[in-house]
Amino acid sequence: MAYSQLQKIETKVHLKASAQQFYDVFCNRPHHIANILPQKIQSVQIHKGEWGTEGSIISWNYTLGMQTSTAQLLLLENH
């Protein structure tokens, strides 16, 4: 797998959830984020591995401004 670029993306979103609930969804069930924020995240798909496990490859299809993009994420071990 080739690494092309590392970029940082930030946004502010108001959620009706505790920090622990958000962390659980973001780390263990990120595919649910597309249901929570459909205007920003169109889909989250797993291509290798399992949700929340080291070595998994996840792609995010998102809209930033008026531009739609895709990002792939390789989950690394959390130290």
Question: pLDDT (tens digit, 9 = 90+) per residue, 6-53?
Answer: 677 777 878 888 989 988 888 888 889 899 889 889 999 999 998 888
How confident is the model at residue 74, as a pLDDT? 86
Q: What is the pTM of this model?
A: 0.72
Please give the residue that has the higher pLDDT: either 13 or 54.
54
Domains by residue range for the chain, with CATH: 19-74 (3.30.530.20)
Element (H, E) at 21: helix 19-28
pLDDT (0 to 100) of residue 4:
62
